[in-house]
Structure 1
Amino acid sequence: MATNIDVPVCNGIEAAPSMQERPGVYGWPTTNENGYTIQEVPMGTKCFRKAIVVGAGASGLDFAKFQRERLTNFECVIYEKNDEVSGTWTENRYPGCACDIPSVTYQYTWEKKIWSQFYSGAAEILEYFKHVADKYELRQYIKLRHEVVHAQWDEDAGKWLVKVKNLAEGTEFEDSAEILINASGIFNYWEWPRIKGLKDYKGILAHSANYPAALELEGKRIAIVGTGASGLQLTAALQKKASHLYTWIRTGTWITSSYGSNFAGPDGGNFEYSEEQKKRFIEDPEYYLKYVKEVESALSDPLAVLKDTPISKLAQEFSKTLMKQKLRGREDLLEALIPTTFPVGCKRRTPGNGYLEALVQSNVTTFCKASLDEITEKGFIDPNGNEVEVDAIILATGFNTTWVPRFPIVANGKDLRHIYQKDALSYLGVAAPYMPNYFTFYGPYSPIGQGSVLAMMDVFTVWMLQMIEKMQTEDIKSFVPKQDAIEEYGEHTKLLIKRFVWDGPCRSWMKSGTIDGPPSSYAGTRAQAQVLSPIPSLLVCLLTWRTYSMELLATPRFEDFDIKYKNRNRWQFLGNGFSLRDVDGRDITWYWGFVGNEDKQRNFDI
């Protein structure tokens, strides 16, 4: 540790020599018989630390913004595999691709935008994140077209050794940092489904997460596989273009009203904000804030995610009625789509704007209670064994949503890929078993079940910054979450989550694609984790289910971590008997209050 700070003038007498020179000048001891040495710096001096961040999507940008504003003597580098920031919104560009969360809540609390529509399309969301990166000068920390392929903890050095592939040049190099932050997100690792004959198909083949920008399907015969959010959006968009469209419904799913539908257009549909509305949002920020809070509150009713409550049952009846109205007596579709074994919300709610309406059109054939099992050179084999020719097959089969990392993350002989193969547990969704100085956004058992994810990102970031600041000021080598803290958290969560709709018998990405696996979502309201957040703007997020997790993450529980220090004496950070406040020009009698509301040491003429 080192500092260039000199001792200030005291009562008109210069307090020389410098802080570092004094022990030698005055003959003070600096080292004892055991070899322990005083560090000649004031308490509070920040040791240098560096973080490597994986991903420049919403989470990575959030961390970049706050570390720039809050941390000193700190280096941050973000490796992003794509050629632009924004993560999933760079990759997903299929027809109809949009966010099913209202625009005004799918934005950072610290950068509000006047959106064109109630539900924004992928292109507008991408432009928003690019704007954030430019406005807050975050690109200086980001290396695009760079993919992290391996991370190994070096216990002796107290650093992560990270292998990075430069995708533009095809080369590989190694970087190192004390801290590794995984901000790669939940929906960023798409893969081809395992369908017989997939590689034999000669027509147009595309995946929703890697959709060709120039693909034109007007008048084509199209098959769409998948009934998740992307499948529903594609079906609604391409039905209007296709000469004929084929879809499959393997299992039932609740098609619900849109998130925030009370504020949406007719039947919960999308709408464009009028010029008058946008003008008022701009000219009256308090009104806009009230509007945002009302919409967000509507997304986050805590009773709606509890099993077997009157509200839960009402949501189920409402969705059933809605589906019957839009399917116009198509009993085959109703029987295939309406679930009978699990409640609304067991899977993430699926607002199907235009999907049900598309299914009943004359140019759509839906194979009910069936799956696409075989593809041929010209098309596919239907449930009756007949070959059906199509011009294009679009696979909206989603992402690999297991918690297994996409690259080896190894520490102390343990690979996180192996640890997370089954029943992945984490520390509050922000740290992982056995992994020193490894932080994550939205790890297992995070509050991912409902509503917008962006508000919680601020909470995760602030938690990480507090951990890093403690690491810097106390010269800490490593934090590792205690295994008993992780296991006890898992025990509590697994029991509590049985009260919530996510625990129902449905196949869900929260269960890594299984029916009976444990839902790896946070069991509680969002509010439980953040009420005392250090960032005042975050207080707008103290609502309903998320507040539970927000309060919990407001301040790190350092007692849940095994801490190792750089030096053998944990108190070495106390330094030379001075506080940083004594020497950096701040008011040394601050406890009496500030004169002129200014934290500055001054001599007063009295």
Structure 2
Amino acid sequence: MQVETFDVIVVGAGISGIGSAYHLMSQCPAKRFVVLEGRARKGGTWDLFRYPGIRSDSDMFTLGYSFKPWTEAKAIADGPSILRYLEETAREHGIEEHIRYNHRVVAADWSSDDAMWTLTIEADGQTRRMRCNFLHMCTGYYNYERGHAPDFAGREQFAGRIVHPQFWPEDMDYSGKRVVVIGSGATAVTLVPEMAKRAAHVVMLQRSPTYVVSRPGEDGFANALRRALPSKLAYGLIRWRNVLLQQFFYRQARRHPEKAKERLLGWVREHLGPDYDVDRHFTPRYNPWDQRLCLVPDADLFEAIRSGAASVETGHVDRFLDDGIRLTDGTEIAADIIVTATGLELQLMGDMPVRVDGKRVDFAQTLNYKGMMFSDVPNLAYSFGYTNASWTLKADLTCAYLCRLLQTMDRRGMRKATPRASSETAAEPFLDFTSGYVRRAMERFPKQGSKAPWKLHQSYLRDLMVLKYGSVDDDMEFSNPDSTVSRAA
């Protein structure tokens, strides 16, 4: 069987993969590339998740691409609208013709002898292989096949229906039903007010509270500016305004956590009233941005609670019962449907085996380079977004930097680019986040370094300067298959 060869292979046709394709087409038009998507449709997260109310937890002026203005009225958009935006982007820029669906990459092998990756692919029930010089992994950061689901005692005893949001059934009818949503993260705070519109009652059952902040679903200033200015100009100004405001509030929260906590909880009290037990149900044990804040548009969660359509219980599950859940303090919660919004299962590049010259790479022993490459692993980039801002902000910078790197390699006549960390670079955790889904996975993830270019700053402004205008030579070794090394321009 003939093995197809490309300059670049992009794995994943979600928000990162479509962005990567655009950048390759616009900045490296001579490069031959293909986008491999394991599923039957593009869109990644926004095609996979179908649970009620699925929406962005970032504003679309920063979650949207820098090159493709978001034109709908809502700044906090629903999942179907985001999927249409991605499909429109792919169609307008001719990306669709580069996508191969139902092509699941199951292994990647690098050969230094010819500076090429060989990918093993499962497609249409057959095993195929493709080769490329550079590999860009845009597979997201969680397991598409499995969500995190604790082993609750008595699960088999429950007479109703149990569903994980990641695998929402098309036939799920919760009208008039008593629903318990276990969890307090972004998925739970999305599900509860949406399901409360039709359910008899919805309980958000949480082990501990999360910081929840309301934001208008529509950005009035942005919509007014778009009516007054050309679309691209208005979009650029709004995008920068939102980036700068977000970075300012994040820095202030980290520098003055007690003041930030007081303000966030004050807003919750304004929505729920003076008699609501905010201390018990909405006051986390950690500081703001130790975990990601949960965004609710137009205070919909708080409105559902105030109306009585929804409520919050804080406690630990003892076991499932025939008709509900019993907590460790003896409280029983009746339920016809239990939704386990208990989190994602993180994984790096789908946990596929990656080998360099026959030796499998243990990514937990590598250092992450500029938030996108790995020490001693040549010609492999990975898109990973921000924890404190929109995913696409970092994905856009990663794609643009990849094109800069490819241009540099072409200009210098080099086919291999390998990040090399010095012995003085100390290893630190990849993410400094206390969320359960992060802690469960960090031992399998690469580390970040103690200094640039191995340090993750979670700052769009700093990354913009480094990735768009900074050197491509810092701790990067350029070479050819004969092992000749060059750092010269």
Give the counterpart letter for 1:547 in structure 2. Answer: L
Give the Å deviation of 1:517. Answer: 12
Q: For residues 213 and 67 of structure 1, do their structure 2 counterparts lie closer, same or farther at Cα, with a shift above 3 Å needed?
A: same
Give the counterpart letter for 2:435 in structure 1. Answer: R
Structure 1 counterpart SS, 2:19 = helix
Structure 1 counterpart SS, 2:63 = coil
State which drifts further: 316-325 or 230-239: 316-325
Aligned partner of 1:435 in structure 2 is 377
Give the counterpart letter for 2:367 in structure 1. Answer: L
Cα deviations by residue, 1:137-178 (Å, 9 ceiling, x for unpaired) = 001211112211111223333222211122xx3322222222
Give the Å deviation of 1:56. Answer: 0.9
Q: Assess if the C-alpha contact under 8 Å between 1:476 and 1:565 holds in 2.
A: yes
Provide the rounded CA distance (Å) in 2 between the counterparts of 1:384 and 1:110.
53
Aligned partner of 1:462 in structure 2 is 400
Q: Assess if the C-alpha contact under 8 Å between 2:346 and 2:437 holds in 1.
A: yes
- Of the three residues 185, 201, 217, the one matched with 2:174 is 217
Residue 234 of structure 2 is aligned to residue 290 of structure 1:
no
Q: Assess if the C-alpha contact under 8 Å between 1:225 and 1:248 holds in 2.
A: yes
Q: Assess if the C-alpha contact under 8 Å between 1:430 and 1:441 holds in 2.
A: yes
Q: For residues 304 and 51 of structure 1, do their structure 2 counterparts lie closer, same or farther at Cα, with a shift above 3 Å needed?
A: same
Give the Å deviation of 1:88. Answer: 0.8
Residue 166 of structure 2 is aligned to residue 193 of structure 1:
no
Residue 463 of structure 2 is aligned to residue 549 of structure 1:
yes
Aligned partner of 2:389 in structure 1 is 451
Give the Å deviation of 1:112. Answer: 0.7
Give the counterpart letter for 2:89 in structure 1. Answer: V
Give the Å deviation of 1:231. Answer: 0.7
- Of the three residues 134, 149, 155, the one matched with 2:106 is 149
Aligned partner of 2:69 in structure 1 is 112
Give the Å deviation of 1:236. Answer: 1.4
Aligned partner of 1:335 in structure 2 is 280
Q: For residues 121 and 67 of structure 1, do their structure 2 counterparts lie closer, same or farther at Cα, with a shift above 3 Å needed?
A: same
Q: Assess if the C-alpha contact under 8 Å between 1:437 and 1:480 holds in 2.
A: yes
Q: For residues 290 and 462 of structure 1, do their structure 2 counterparts lie closer, same or farther at Cα, with a shift above 3 Å needed?
A: closer
Structure 1 counterpart SS, 2:319 = coil
Cα deviations by residue, 1:237-258 (Å, 9 ceiling, x for unpaired) = 112221132331212321124x
Give the Å deviation of 1:441. Answer: 1.0
Give the counterpart letter for 1:193 in structure 2. Answer: A
Q: Assess if the C-alpha contact under 8 Å between 1:152 and 1:411 holds in 2.
A: yes
Summarize the alignment of residues 267-278 of structure 1 with structure 2, pairs less than 5 Å apart.
268-271=215-218, 277=224
- Of the three residues 130, 134, 139, the one matched with 1:175 is 130
Provide the rounded CA distance (Å) in 2 between the counterparts of 1:405 and 1:243.
39
Consecutive unaligned residues of structure 2, counting only runs of 5 or more, are none
Give the counterpart letter for 1:463 in structure 2. Answer: Y
Provide the rounded CA distance (Å) in 1 between the counterparts of 2:249 and 2:282.
26
Q: Assess if the C-alpha contact under 8 Å between 2:9 and 2:134 holds in 1.
A: yes
Q: Assess if the C-alpha contact under 8 Å between 1:195 and 1:375 holds in 2.
A: no
Aligned partner of 1:564 in structure 2 is 479
Aligned partner of 2:201 in structure 1 is 244
Q: For residues 567 and 170 of structure 1, do their structure 2 counterparts lie closer, same or farther at Cα, with a shift above 3 Å needed?
A: same
- Of the three residues 42, 61, 81, the one matched with 1:124 is 81
Aligned residues: 477
Q: Assess if the C-alpha contact under 8 Å between 1:87 and 1:188 holds in 2.
A: no
Provide the rounded CA distance (Å) in 2 between the counterparts of 1:518 and 1:174.
27
Summarize the alignment of residues 128-143 of structure 1 with structure 2, pairs less than 5 Å apart.
128-143=85-100
Q: Assess if the C-alpha contact under 8 Å between 1:524 and 1:549 holds in 2.
A: no
- Of the three residues 256, 259, 263, the one matched with 1:318 is 263
Structure 2 counterpart SS, 1:124 = helix
Aligned partner of 1:356 in structure 2 is 302
Cα deviations by residue, 1:505-554 (Å, 9 ceiling, x for unpaired) = x435554568x9999789999xx999xxxxxxxxxxxxx94211221222
State which drifts further: 452-461 or 229-238: 452-461
Aligned partner of 1:578 in structure 2 is none
Give the counterpart letter for 1:358 in structure 2. Answer: A
Summarize the alignment of residues 387-466 of structure 1 with structure 2, pairs less than 5 Å apart.
390-403=335-348, 405-412=350-357, 414-416=359-361, 418-420=362-364, 425-442=367-384, 448-466=386-404
Q: Assess if the C-alpha contact under 8 Å between 1:82 and 1:90 holds in 2.
A: no
Q: Assess if the C-alpha contact under 8 Å between 1:117 and 1:273 holds in 2.
A: no
Give the Å deviation of 1:350. Answer: 1.2
Aligned partner of 1:30 in structure 2 is none
Q: For residues 471 and 524 of structure 1, do their structure 2 counterparts lie closer, same or farther at Cα, with a shift above 3 Å needed?
A: closer
Q: For residues 360 and 275 of structure 1, do their structure 2 counterparts lie closer, same or farther at Cα, with a shift above 3 Å needed?
A: closer
Give the counterpart letter for 1:344 in structure 2. Answer: P
Aligned partner of 2:19 in structure 1 is 62
Provide the rounded CA distance (Å) in 1 between the counterparts of 2:229 and 2:474.
45
Give the Å deviation of 1:320. Answer: 1.4
Q: Assess if the C-alpha contact under 8 Å between 1:67 and 1:465 holds in 2.
A: yes
Give the Å deviation of 1:224. Answer: 0.9
Give the counterpart letter for 1:60 in structure 2. Answer: G
Q: For residues 280 and 522 of structure 1, do their structure 2 counterparts lie closer, same or farther at Cα, with a shift above 3 Å needed?
A: farther
Cα deviations by residue, 1:350-396 (Å, 9 ceiling, x for unpaired) = 123322343455454543132x4534565444435687653322222
Instruction: Supply the RMSD in Å over aligned alpha carbons.
Output: 3.8
Provide the rounded CA distance (Å) in 1 between the counterparts of 2:397 and 2:185.
28
Q: Which has the larger radius of gyration?
A: 1
Q: For residues 293 and 275 of structure 1, do their structure 2 counterparts lie closer, same or farther at Cα, with a shift above 3 Å needed?
A: closer
Q: Assess if the C-alpha contact under 8 Å between 2:367 and 2:421 holds in 1.
A: no
Residue 315 of structure 2 is aligned to residue 369 of structure 1:
yes
Aligned partner of 1:481 in structure 2 is 419
Give the counterpart letter for 2:141 in structure 1. Answer: I
Provide the rounded CA distance (Å) in 2 between the counterparts of 1:327 and 1:335.
13
Q: For residues 472 and 317 of structure 1, do their structure 2 counterparts lie closer, same or farther at Cα, with a shift above 3 Å needed?
A: same
Residue 28 of structure 2 is aligned to residue 91 of structure 1:
no
Q: For residues 320 and 438 of structure 1, do their structure 2 counterparts lie closer, same or farther at Cα, with a shift above 3 Å needed?
A: same
Give the structure-2-normalised TM-score: 0.84
Give the Å deviation of 1:99. Answer: 1.1
Q: Assess if the C-alpha contact under 8 Å between 1:57 and 1:86 holds in 2.
A: yes
Higher strand share: 2
Q: Assess if the C-alpha contact under 8 Å between 1:305 and 1:345 holds in 2.
A: no
Cα deviations by residue, 1:572-602 (Å, 9 ceiling, x for unpaired) = x99xxxxxxxxxxxxxxxxxxxxxxxxxxxx
Structure 1 counterpart SS, 2:397 = helix
Consecutive unaligned residues of structure 1, counting only runs of 5 or more, are 1-47, 258-267, 531-543, 575-606
Q: For residues 52 and 292 of structure 1, do their structure 2 counterparts lie closer, same or farther at Cα, with a shift above 3 Å needed?
A: closer
Structure 1 counterpart SS, 2:119 = strand
Provide the rounded CA distance (Å) in 1 between the counterparts of 2:242 and 2:371.
26
Give the counterpart letter for 1:271 in structure 2. Answer: E
